[in-house]
Amino acid sequence: MLEDPERVEQELQPEAERSESTSSEQPVSDASIPSAPAEAIAAPESTESPAASGEPITAPEGADSPAAELPAEHAEPADDRAWYVVHCYSGQENKVRHNLEQRIETMGMKDQIFDIIIPTVEEIEVKDGKRRTVEKRVYPGYLMVQMILTEESWFVVRNTPGVTGFVGMGNTPTALRSEEVAQILHRMETTTPTVRPTYKAGQKVRIVDGPFNEFVGTVDSIDMDRGKVRVLVSFFGRETPVELDFLQVEKT
């Protein structure tokens, strides 16, 4: 049987030429196919999902995640409330606060006026040989009111009996800065009670503690920063200065 001439010719061609001829006959695509990255080709170490294994699913480092919520006591209010300073007659701070609280209740303003504070600190005074703790107003004649400033809330506060006005520029109340409010509240909460003397320079006092107990002398000077009083005590007809703590002396 006669052999096909073309087949015989192909068999006689070198192997390299035959491979080129074969490859040239293959169709060529217009778009090149990108090679898969090495990470995608590599087989995973484990085919078990985190949920199936019971392990918690965590986001990779750097991935976007919701911001952690602040504790409720430190969260900023969503409304426009702020602290304002209200002036009143000195000595009537508690009465004015009571009047304002009643007006807030009766006029339904709890959603606009939230809190009223009289800034105070504790002090210790000695009277009749006894110590007692009293509250001292840091800013006599002033109150702090937390509120959303509107025409209605301004009217309620401004027309409260005993209130003489807001602190601010002209007729516009000025809100306190957040750091100012924080300093005042911190002082009220953490200040150690200080000693308030009930005597003045030149007055007669009795020493109630220490080696000069029961001696009577005259106040020469008072050092509020150090909590010390200088008393002139008579020894053998001669006045001698003695430095004492506030609590060691009381007014006669």
d(CA 121, CA 219): 26
Most confident of 45-49, 65-69, 115-119, 208-212: 115-119
Q: Is the CB of residue 107 less than 8 Å from the CB of residue 178?
A: no
Q: Is the CB of residue 117 less than 8 Å from the CB of residue 52?
A: no
d(CA 80, CA 114): 12
Q: Give the residue from 171, 187, 167 showing the smallest Cα distance to 179.
A: 187
Q: Is the CB of residue 250 less than 8 Å from the CB of residue 229?
A: no
Locus of tokens 């003489």 = 164
Give SS3 for 228.
Answer: strand
On whether both 116 and 217 belong to a single domain, the answer is no
Q: Which residues contact 84 (CB under 8 A, 6 or more apart)?
A: 144, 145, 146, 147, 149, 157, 166, 167, 168, 173, 174, 175, 176
User: Which two three-digit tokens encode residue 228?
Assistant: 């010390």
Instruction: Provide the pLDDT confidence category of residue 208 given band limits of 50, 70 and 90.
Output: confident
What is the pLDDT averaged over residues 233-249? 87
User: 247: domain range?
Assistant: 204-251
On whether both 123 and 95 belong to a single domain, the answer is yes
d(CA 102, CA 99): 5
User: Which two three-digit tokens encode residue 147?
Assistant: 């509120």
pTM of the model: 0.54
**Which residue did the predictor score with more confidence, 28 or 217?**
217
Residue 75's pLDDT is 43
Instruction: Provide the pLDDT confidence category of residue 220 given band limits of 50, 70 and 90.
Output: very high
Residue 7's pLDDT is 53
User: Which two three-digit tokens encode residue 247?
Assistant: 């609590």
Looking at the domain assignment, is residue 211 inside a domain? yes
Residue 28's pLDDT is 38
The answer, yes or no, to whether residue 174 has pLDDT greater than 90, is yes
On whether both 210 and 139 belong to a single domain, the answer is no
For the chain, percent of residues with pLDDT exceeding 70: 66
> Domain total for the chain?
2
Instruction: Provide the pLDDT confidence category of residue 210 given band limits of 50, 70 and 90.
Output: confident
On whether both 186 and 209 belong to a single domain, the answer is no
Q: What ranges in 115-224 are assigned the alpha helix state H?
A: 151-158, 178-190
Residue 191's pLDDT is 61
CB-count exposure of residue 20 (10 Å: 0-12, 13-18, 19+): exposed
Give SS3 for 242.
Answer: strand
Looking at the domain assignment, is residue 68 inside a domain? no
What is the pLDDT averaged over residues 222-229? 87
d(CA 206, CA 189): 33
Which of 195, 217, 239 terminates a domain? The answer is: 195
User: Which two three-digit tokens encode residue 28?
Assistant: 């060529």
What is the pLDDT averaged over residues 14-37? 42
CATH of the domain at 92: 3.30.70.940
Looking at the domain assignment, is residue 217 inside a domain? yes
On whether both 224 and 150 belong to a single domain, the answer is no
Residue 74's pLDDT is 35
d(CA 209, CA 245): 9
